[in-house]
């Protein structure tokens, strides 16, 4: 085991003919020089010129970039992305890659996780735009949440309905502003509810008569063709099954429910002034799930979709790395009585470290360049909250009438941001050699 | 060795690829053998229809024309082609600001005298002004949009027991909306997730409340966004946006609603709202995404007048500009400016023209005829979409400038002063030289 | 060199032997281990379902009309299976442009992938195993180019291609993809190559092998898993590219992404077209994946046969 470990650590000694390096490198350097380095240098120069490219403006494009409040949000989001997403994907990829070695359907599993990568980012973005859609009739996440919620809570009878007037709205419900004493009659015209949604049992309403020791009243839907507001018209229907409360000095003294014609009665009342309240649970709006693509949740949601896409990438490379690990190293540790966890921690992970680092760095860079996903998933109204540097660069330089100067400055900044990660990576390899 | 043969096969493939390429022949005519290429934003059905227009040109002249649909990336594609020295012959540009930029850099050429004459004959003077930069005519508006239409579902009104009466004034419109809300139907679906629909709301109210003169000044930023006329428009708008019962899903729901969804909210199943405001292209979405019939249950009324304003139309449009000055390009521009070209697409549907030369009978149905007629009727009271006239950083970018400011206004319509200040700050920055 | 490899070859059989098979373990340990294995199976199955869900949703969307898709979510097909239709596929399959663009995509993706793998393997070998002055800095620079956003290069490269007459040709598109695929490929392979046991390389050099032979006979066979994964992903990225093709290809050399996009309606969710197109164009990368993934497990074995 130790032998194998030592063997894998590269203690590279110089090749014998350095001149040959040029031959190996030539094709790559030619292409990179012409098509990548030249544009980069071009951008560097371009970043010191204004939008038209004709006037030298010094560092003002950079100043503009850093003073734009959107850049700060983009920076913040980029930090969140970089801290969370690559680590999550690398860990997930490592765990899944190791575990897939223990199942027979490893190929099928890898294929399944690879699928998201085979779909273009644009299409993936559209998928997640739909997955997290707020409307539970179209968004699967909210549909599931509403489904679970509705198992535990029954819906209110008349969601969204409200009294036409003369009511105080509070958390408890709608309380009438006028008071009534026994023998009185209360009219409770409601609006804001569709006639088509009324239960079949609803019957036309009629004006209750005053009298006795009772308070009588009617709750009806005050909407009809040519109907008078607040008046009972012939075609108007009562609202059955609605809870009505009677209050004295703010305390509930009686409670009843309306009949099919919307009428209700509070019997055997003592003297005094009462008010009538329609409790809020009659009208509670149905649970519609969460606003996933709102300002607060949008970045985590986009990160989740990126994880969905990129895990296949991590697994593929880590699996490739795993297959190169000498099996005797693992077996030796197992024979020595190490648990699977110990084997994983002490043998697999250290041997995989170069691959993991490669995957991780690649993911970090990929995260810094991400923009299509944000562009497609975040609705326009929260695009600013979900903004990332690469997206801003795209919009600044290629929105119609875009400013290539500021765009180039942003590209250079992005480039400078990644340099430390690269240096660290190289230093690490060099340390290992010495 | 197996691998060697595979490499050979790959190379063969790569070489075969460069030799491939198809071309379609033009008809017989004086331009036979010549070719032009044209870039536009259209794809799908619209592309098919536009290609019919180009086919008519080919039949007439013998020249061969190729169309590339670049979609939203049109400015990118055109800019890169120009930099690469291979510009298209003609591009159809939707943003006057982008065309102005191209004119300034010398990438596009002024139109020929013949084209200028054709534009003078067939279009209201406003269209010539819109296509001119530095006093020279560069662009011909081939296809226009009527962005002052409110579309509604008759069924929603029936269900609410309301008679279908087209509100002529903003007050009446709000009244109708409240009546719908009382009947349990959210009145309007607002596509707040797309900032451009909100700019269209604002522009229509502003054009009516502040008048065409102020509208022009505001577009050039000669008038500040903190001007009282802007406040008046926002206050009017707040009467609608500020009443959560009138908006489908309330403000937060509207901010999650994209334009196509706002249309299916009104015309699809299940129906969630009664009206949706946007341009004539709403009818295209109704056709493709719902079962409702345009001209049947789906119909429109003009954006209501505010405080007794005269009829006015906010429009958008695709302007043809030429990058070359050769014979075939000039002929193509001449063709696009002629009623002949417009009539071809008009007959296919989903097309409006600002040209007086197109016979009303060319349009396939009454609704389209009506939409086109209102643009012609408004004459010089037509105004181009204000947000498209402003720098793109202000009026045409997701998540910033006018789009974002109005989205935040929709979220909290009480913040009128704050919205005005934000708009002004963003405008100052975007208009800076 | 051969001793090390044959040693590995002998042990490689262990790969297929489950951990539980170890003779030292008692029945209790085996039971716990089996239980653990069962949990792994179930856990991975759950993960797989989670990953498949959105793809399945996309599949269902591709089998429904635009009207049905805008009206309700895909899961409603369980109650209304009658809505399913092959219409979307029929429409796309009947479109000649789509098929031509399919071929174009192959013409673009295959050479791009091949060139990137070959050129980057050569460069990575030099960067990993040949000592020359400034090597580390060159490595940092090449890899640093990874972060270069494609959009930044569009205009300068357009100028270059305009001068070279490469605009609108497949060769131009391929070159662009190769250039932007190289940094990642070099980075990946260099890191992989440096991980190869130094004894192998040194032994070969002792035997008098030239750098080319070391590269060809020692490094490449061992690097098969890395080369395979690189091939898969490079192919994928080129296959799914829209922007480069949109800018640098003309109508005749347009790949499938561009052709599919020209089917989209200007307004509308377009989910019916997008999903159908996504499935149509997904098939090829999946085949490539299946064709190359077998190298992941073959890597060690292959190294010993040379």
- Between C271 and B273, where is the model more confident? B273
In chain A, the residue whose alpha carbon lies closest to the alpha carbon of C76 is A137
- Does residue B207 belong to any structural domain of this protein? yes
Helix %, strand %, coil % of chain C (to 5): 80, 0, 20
Kindly state whether B161 is in contact with chain A, defined as any CB-CB distance less than 8 angstroms.
yes
For B377-420, what is the HEC assignment? HHHHHEEECHHHHCCHHHHCCCCCHHHHHHHHHHHCCCCHHHHH
User: Hey, what are A341's tokens?
Assistant: 């966890």
In chain B, the residue whose alpha carbon lies closest to the alpha carbon of A69 is B400
Whether B12 and B86 share a structural domain: yes
Can you give the pLDDT at residue B118? Answer: 94
User: How many Å separate Cα B133 from the centre of its chain?
Assistant: 20
Whether B299 and B334 share a structural domain: no
Residue with tokens 């937060």: B252
Say if residue A299's pLDDT is above 50. Answer: yes
Q: How far apart are CA C299 and CA C223, in angstroms?
A: 7
* pLDDT tens digits, one per residue of C28-40: 666 666 767 888 8
User: Hey, what are B133's tokens?
Assistant: 């930069």
Whether B164 and B41 share a structural domain: no
Kindly state whether B84 is in contact with chain A, defined as any CB-CB distance less than 8 angstroms.
no
Say if residue B366's pLDDT is above 80. Answer: yes
User: Hey, what are B329's tokens?
Assistant: 């390009």
Q: Which of B392, B400, B403 sits opposite A402 (nearest CB)?
A: B392
Can you give the pLDDT at residue B7? Answer: 40
Residue with tokens 């890659």: A97
Q: How far apart are CA C63 and CA C66, in angstroms?
A: 10
Say if residue B400's pLDDT is above 90. Answer: no
Kindly state whether C195 is in contact with chain A, defined as any CB-CB distance less than 8 angstroms.
yes
What CATH number has the domain spanning A41-143+292-433?
1.10.3720.10
Q: How far apart are CA C181 and CA C79, in angstroms?
A: 46
Can you give the pLDDT at residue C81? Answer: 80
Contact between B54 and B320 under an 8 Å Cβ cutoff? The reply is: no
Kindly state whether A192 is in contact with chain B, defined as any CB-CB distance less than 8 angstroms.
yes
Kindly state whether A401 is in contact with chain B, defined as any CB-CB distance less than 8 angstroms.
yes
Can you give the pLDDT at residue C25? Answer: 53
Q: How far apart are CA A189 and CA A262, in angstroms?
A: 10
Q: How far apart are CA B111 and CA B125, in angstroms?
A: 16
- Residue C16, min C-alpha distance to chain B (Å): 28
Percent of chain C with pLDDT over 70: 84
- Does residue B406 belong to any structural domain of this protein? yes
Helix H or strand E segment including A63: helix A60-67
Chain C residues with CB under 8 Å of A357 CB are: 191
Delineate the domains of chain C, giving CATH numbers in brackets: 37-85 (no CATH), 95-303 (1.10.3720.10)
Q: Which of B183, B252, B392 sits opposite A400 (nearest CB)?
A: B392
Measured in residues, chain C has a length of 306
Interface test with A, best of B185, B199, B399 (most A CBs within 10 A): B399
Whether B297 and B414 share a structural domain: yes
Q: How far apart are CA A223 and CA B162, in angstroms?
A: 10
B393-416: b (≥16 Cβ within 10 Å) or e:
bbbbbbbbbbbbbbbbbbbebebb
Say if residue A85's pLDDT is above 90. Answer: yes
Contact between A183 and A211 under an 8 Å Cβ cutoff? The reply is: yes
Chain A residues with CB under 8 Å of B104 CB are: 52
Contact call for C148 and A334, based on CB within 8 A: no
Q: Which of A205-214, B141-150, B152-161, C242-251 has the highest mean pLDDT?
A: B141-150
Chain A residues with CB under 8 Å of C138 CB are: 25
Say if residue C4's pLDDT is above 50. Answer: no
| Pick from A211-215, B28-32, B166-170: least confident | B28-32
Question: Could you tell me the pLDDT band of residue A7, with boundaries at 50, 70 and 90?
Answer: very low
Identify the CA nearest to B194 among candidates B264, B251, B265, B254. Answer: B254
What average pLDDT does chain C have? 81
Q: How far apart are CA C213 and CA C202, in angstroms?
A: 12
In chain C, the residue whose alpha carbon lies closest to the alpha carbon of A403 is C152
Burial of A408 (0-12, 13-18, 19+ CB in 10 A): buried
Q: Do domains A41-143+292-433 and A162-282 have the same CATH topology?
A: no
Residue B45 CB partners (closer than 8 Å, separation 6+)? B284, B288, B350, C265
Residue C34 CB partners (closer than 8 Å, separation 6+)? C20
In chain C, the residue whose alpha carbon lies closest to the alpha carbon of A398 is C151
Measured CA to CA in angstroms, residue A366 lies from A241, A372, A374, B339, C185 at distances of: 58, 12, 13, 51, 14
Pairs across A and C, CB distance < 8 A? 327
What average pLDDT does chain A have? 85
Chain C residues with CB under 8 Å of A101 CB are: 15
Kindly state whether C55 is in contact with chain A, defined as any CB-CB distance less than 8 angstroms.
yes
Say if residue C272's pLDDT is above 70. Answer: yes
> What CATH number corresponds to the domain at position B176?
3.40.190.10
Whether B427 and B325 share a structural domain: no
Can you give the pLDDT at residue A433? Answer: 57
Residue with tokens 């087209």: B166
- Residue C278, min C-alpha distance to chain B (Å): 16
Contact between A326 and C8 under an 8 Å Cβ cutoff? The reply is: yes
Contact between A206 and A218 under an 8 Å Cβ cutoff? The reply is: yes
Contact between B119 and B137 under an 8 Å Cβ cutoff? The reply is: yes
- Does residue B48 belong to any structural domain of this protein? yes
Q: How far apart are CA C285 and CA C62, in angstroms?
A: 19
- Residue B203, min C-alpha distance to chain C (Å): 21
For B132-158, what is the HEC assignment? EECCEECCEEEEEEECCEEEEEHHHHH
Q: How many domains does chain B have?
A: 2
For B122-135, what is the HEC assignment? HCCHHHHHHCEECC
Contact call for A387 and B255, based on CB within 8 A: no
Interface test with A, best of B94, B400, B428, B431 (most A CBs within 10 A): B400
Whether B132 and B155 share a structural domain: no
Q: How far apart are CA A37 and CA A332, in angstroms?
A: 48
For residue B58, give its domain range.
Answer: 6-146+316-379
ipTM of the complex: 0.82
Say if residue B21's pLDDT is above 50. Answer: no
- Does residue B1 belong to any structural domain of this protein? no
- Averaged over A389-410, what is the pLDDT? 77
Chain A residues with CB under 8 Å of B71 CB are: none
Interface test with C, best of B22, B84, B281 (most C CBs within 10 A): B84
Can you give the pLDDT at residue A401? Answer: 53
Can you give the pLDDT at residue C298? Answer: 52
* DSSP letters for A97-114: HHHHTTSTTHHHHHHHHH
Can you give the pLDDT at residue C11? Answer: 36
What average pLDDT does chain B have? 89
Whether B212 and B273 share a structural domain: yes
Last residue of a domain, one of B341, B358, B379: B379
* DSSP letters for A287-320: P----TTSTTTHHHHHHHHHHHHHHHHHHHHHHH
Radius of gyration of chain A measured on its C-alpha atoms? 34
Question: For chain B, which chains pass the contact test of at least 3 CB pairs under 8 Å?
Answer: A, C
Domain ranges for chain A, please list them.
41-143+292-433, 162-282
* pLDDT tens digits, one per residue of B194-220: 899 999 999 999 999 999 999 999 999
Kindly state whether B186 is in contact with chain A, defined as any CB-CB distance less than 8 angstroms.
no
Contact call for B399 and A164, based on CB within 8 A: no
Can you give the pLDDT at residue A55? Answer: 86
Gap between the terminal Cα atoms of chain C: 11
- Between A6 and B295, where is the model more confident? B295
Chain B residues with CB under 8 Å of C158 CB are: 80-81, 83-84
Whether B419 and B272 share a structural domain: yes
The torsion defined by the Cα of B192, B195, B196 and B199, in degrees rounded to 10, comes to: 90
Can you give the pLDDT at residue B15? Answer: 38
Say if residue C22's pLDDT is above 60. Answer: no
Q: Which of C154, C169, C266 sits opposite B43 (nearest CB)?
A: C266
- Does residue B127 belong to any structural domain of this protein? yes
Say if residue A420's pLDDT is above 80. Answer: no
Whether B361 and B421 share a structural domain: no
Interface test with A, best of C1, C24, C39, C54 (most A CBs within 10 A): C54
- This prediction has a pTM of 0.85
- Averaged over A392-401, what is the pLDDT? 70
- Averaged over B131-146, what is the pLDDT? 95
Kindly state whether A54 is in contact with chain B, defined as any CB-CB distance less than 8 angstroms.
no
| Pick from A149-158, B117-126, B308-317: least confident | A149-158
Question: Could you tell me the pLDDT band of residue B233, with boundaries at 50, 70 and 90?
Answer: very high
Identify the CA nearest to B353 among candidates B137, B197, B119, B132. Answer: B119
Whether B142 and B170 share a structural domain: no
Contact call for A379 and B396, based on CB within 8 A: no
For chain A, what is the HEC assignment? CHHHHHHHCCCCCCCCCCHHHHHHHHHHHHHHHHHHHHHHHHHHHHCCECCCCCCECCCHHHHHHHHCHHHHHHHHHHHHHHHHHHHHHHHHHHHHHHHHCCCCCHHHHHHHHHHHHHCCHHHHHHHHHHHCCCCCCCCHHHHHHHHHHHHHCCCCCCCCCEECCCEEEECCEEEECCCECCCCEEEEEEECCCHHHCCCCCCECCCCCCCCCCEEEEEEECCCCCCCCCCCCCCCEECCCCEEEEEECCEEEEEEECCCCCEEEECCCCCCCEEEEEEHHHCCCCCCCCCCCCCCCHHHHHHHHHHHHHHHHHHHHHHHHHHCCCHHHHHHHHHCCCCHHHHHHHHHHHHHHHHHHHHHHHHHHHHHHCCHHHHHHCCHHHHHHHCCHHHHHHHHHHCCCCCHHHHHHHHHHHHHHHHHHHHHHHHHHHHHHC
* pLDDT tens digits, one per residue of A137-168: 888 999 999 999 988 888 888 988 989 887 88
SS3 C132: coil
Say if residue A226's pLDDT is above 60. Answer: yes
Question: Could you tell me the pLDDT band of residue C300, with boundaries at 50, 70 and 90?
Answer: very low
Q: How far apart are CA A395 and CA B404, in angstroms?
A: 14
CB atoms within 10 A of CB A383: 25
- Does residue B384 belong to any structural domain of this protein? no
Can you give the pLDDT at residue B12? Answer: 41
* pLDDT tens digits, one per residue of C179-217: 999 999 998 899 888 878 888 888 998 888 888 999 999
- Does residue B302 belong to any structural domain of this protein? yes
Can you give the pLDDT at residue B88? Answer: 94
* DSSP letters for B342-369: HHHHHHHSS-B---TTS-GGGSSSHHHH
- Does residue B385 belong to any structural domain of this protein? no
Q: How far apart are CA A18 and CA B252, in angstroms?
A: 65
Helix H or strand E segment including A152: helix A140-152
CA atoms within 13 A on the CB side of C10: 7
Say if residue A434's pLDDT is above 70. Answer: no
Helix and strand numbers, DSSP H then E, in chain A? 16, 9
Pick A162-282's CATH classification: 2.40.10, 1.10.10, 3.40.1000, 2.60.40. 2.60.40
Q: Which of A334-348, B130-144, C64-78, C201-215 has the highest mean pLDDT?
A: B130-144
């Amino acid at each position: 085991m130790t032998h194998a470990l030592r063997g894998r650590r590269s203690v590279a000694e110089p090749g014998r003919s350095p001149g040959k390096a040029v031959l190996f490198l030539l094709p790559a350097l030619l292409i990179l020089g012409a098509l990548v380095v030249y544009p980069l240098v071009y951008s560097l120069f371009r970043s010191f010129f204004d939008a038209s490219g004709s006037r030298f403006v010094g560092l003002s494009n950079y100043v503009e970039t850093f003073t734009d409040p959107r850049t700060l949000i983009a920076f913040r989001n980029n930090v969140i992305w970089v801290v969370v997403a690559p680590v999550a994907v690398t860990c997930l990829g490592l765990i899944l890659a190791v575990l897939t070695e223990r199942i027979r359907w490893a190929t099928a599993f890898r294929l399944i996780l690879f699928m998201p990568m085979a779909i273009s980012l644009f299409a993936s973005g559209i998928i997640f735009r739909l997955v997290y859609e707020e409307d539970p009739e179209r968004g699967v996440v909210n549909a599931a949440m509403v489904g679970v919620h509705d198992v535990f809570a029954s819906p209110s009878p008349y969601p969204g309905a409200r009294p036409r007037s003369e009511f105080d709205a509070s958390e408890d419900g709608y309380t009438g502003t006028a008071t009534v004493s026994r023998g009185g009659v209360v009219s409770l015209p409601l609006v804001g509810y569709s006639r088509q949604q009324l239960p079949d049992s609803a019957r036309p309403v009629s004006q209750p008569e005053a009298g006795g020791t009772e308070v009588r009243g009617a709750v009806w839907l005050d909407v009809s063709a040519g109907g008078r507001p607040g008046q009972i018209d012939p075609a108007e229907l009562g609202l059955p099954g609605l809870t009505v409360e009677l209050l004295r000095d703010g305390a509930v003294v009686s409670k009843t429910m309306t009949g099919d014609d919307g009428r209700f009665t509070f019997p055997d009342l003592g003297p005094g002034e009462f008010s009538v309240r329609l409790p809020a649970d009659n009208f509670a709006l149905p649970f519609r799930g969460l606003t996933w693509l709102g300002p607060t949740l949008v970045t985590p949601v986009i990160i989740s979709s990126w994880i969905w896409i990129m895990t296949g990438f991590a697994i593929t490379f880590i699996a490739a790395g795993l297959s190169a690990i000498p099996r005797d190293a693992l077996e030796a540790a197992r024979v020595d009585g190490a648990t699977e966890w110990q084997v994983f921690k002490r043998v697999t992970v250290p041997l995989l470290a170069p691959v993991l680092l490669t995957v991780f760095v690649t993911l970090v860079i990929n995260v810094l360049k991400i923009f299509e996903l944000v562009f497609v998933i975040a609705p326009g109204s929260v695009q600013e909250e979900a903004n990332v540097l690469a997206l801003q660069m795209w919009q600044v330089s290629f929105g119609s009438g875009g400013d290539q100067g500021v765009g180039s400055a942003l590209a250079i900044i992005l480039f400078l941001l990644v340099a430390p990660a690269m240096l660290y990576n190289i230093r690490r390899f060099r340390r290992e050699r010495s | 060795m197996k691998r060697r043969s595979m490499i050979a096969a790959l190379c063969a493939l790569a070489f075969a690829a460069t030799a491939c390429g198809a071309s379609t022949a033009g008809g017989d005519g004086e331009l036979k053998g010549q070719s032009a290429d044209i870039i536009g934003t259209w794809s799908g059905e619209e592309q098919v229809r536009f290609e019919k227009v180009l086919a008519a040109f080919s039949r007439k002249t013998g020249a061969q024309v190729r169309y590339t649909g670049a979609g939203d990336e049109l400015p990118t594609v055109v800019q890169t082609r120009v930099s690469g020295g291979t510009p298209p012959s003609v591009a159809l540009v939707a943003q006057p600001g982008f065309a102005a930029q191209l004119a300034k850099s010398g990438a596009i050429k002024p139109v020929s005298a013949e084209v200028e004459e054709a534009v003078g004959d067939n279009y209201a003077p406003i269209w010539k002004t819109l296509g001119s930069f530095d006093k020279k005519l560069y662009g011909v508006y081939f296809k226009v949009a009527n962005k002052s239409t409110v579309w509604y579902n008759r069924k929603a009104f029936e269900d609410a027991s309301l008679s279908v009466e087209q509100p002529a004034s903003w007050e009446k419109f709000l009244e109708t909306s409240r009546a719908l809300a009382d009947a349990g139907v959210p009145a309007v679906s607002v596509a707040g997730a797309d900032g451009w629909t909100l700019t269209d709301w604002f522009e229509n109210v502003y054009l009516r409340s502040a008048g065409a003169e102020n509208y022009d000044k505001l577009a050039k930023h000669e008038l500040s966004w903190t001007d009282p006329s802007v406040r008046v428009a926002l206050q009017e708008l707040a009467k609608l946006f500020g009443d959560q019962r009138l908006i489908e899903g309330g403000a937060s729901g509207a901010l999650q609603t994209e334009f196509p969804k706002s249309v299916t909210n009104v015309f699809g199943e299940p129906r969630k709202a009664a009206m949706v405001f946007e341009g004539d292209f709403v009818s295209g979405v109704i056709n493709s995404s719902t079962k409702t019939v345009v001209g049947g249950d789906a119909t429109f009324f003009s954006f209501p007048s505010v405080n007794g304003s005269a009829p006015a139309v906010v429009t958008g449009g695709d302007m043809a500009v030429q990058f070359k000055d050769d014979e075939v390009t000039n002929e193509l521009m001449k063709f696009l400016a002629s009623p002949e070209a417009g009539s071809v697409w008009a007959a296919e549907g989903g097309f409006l023209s600002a040209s007086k030369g197109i016979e009303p009978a060319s349009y396939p149905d009454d609704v389209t005829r009506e939409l086109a007629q209102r643009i012609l009727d408004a004459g010089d009271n037509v105004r181009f979409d204000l947000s498209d006239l402003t720098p793109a950083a202000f009026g045409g970018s997701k998540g910033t400038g006018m789009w974002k400011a109005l989205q935040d206004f929709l979220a909290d319509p009480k913040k009128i002063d704050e919205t005005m200040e934000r708009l002004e700050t963003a405008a100052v920055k975007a208009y800076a030289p | 060199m051969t001793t090390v490899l044959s040693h590995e070859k002998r042990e490689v059989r262990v790969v297929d032997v489950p951990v539980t098979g170890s003779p030292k373990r008692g029945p209790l340990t085996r039971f716990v281990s089996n239980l653990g294995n069962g949990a792994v199976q179930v856990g991975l199955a759950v993960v797989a379902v989670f990953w498949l869900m959105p793809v399945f949703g996309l599949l269902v969307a591709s089998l429904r009309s635009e009207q049905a898709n805008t009206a309700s979510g895909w899961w409603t097909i369980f109650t209304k299976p009658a809505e399913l239709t092959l219409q979307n596929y029929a429409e796309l399959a009947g479109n000649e442009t789509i098929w031509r663009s399919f071929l174009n995509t192959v013409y673009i993706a295959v050479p791009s992938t091949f060139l990137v793998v070959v050129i980057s393997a050569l460069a990575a070998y030099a960067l990993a195993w040949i000592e020359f002055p400034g090597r580390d800095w060159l490595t940092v620079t090449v890899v640093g180019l990874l972060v270069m956003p494609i959009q930044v290069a569009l205009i300068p490269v357009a100028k270059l291609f305009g001068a070279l007459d490469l605009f609108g040709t497949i060769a131009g598109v391929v070159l662009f993809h190769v250039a932007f695929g190289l940094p990642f490929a070099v980075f990946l392979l260099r890191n992989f190559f440096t991980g190869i046991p130094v004894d192998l390389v040194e032994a070969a050099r002792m035997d008098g092998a030239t750098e080319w032979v070391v590269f060809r006979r020692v490094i490449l066979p061992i690097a098969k898993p890395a080369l395979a994964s690189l091939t898969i992903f490079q192919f994928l990225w080129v296959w799914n590219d829209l922007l480069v093709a949109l800018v640098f290809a003309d109508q005749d050399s347009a790949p499938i992404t561009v052709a599919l996009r020209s089917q989209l309606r200007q307004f509308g969710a377009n989910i019916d077209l997008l999903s159908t197109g996504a499935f149509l164009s997904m098939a090829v990368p999946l085949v490539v994946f299946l064709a190359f993934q077998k190298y992941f497990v073959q890597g060690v074995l292959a190294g010993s046969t040379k």
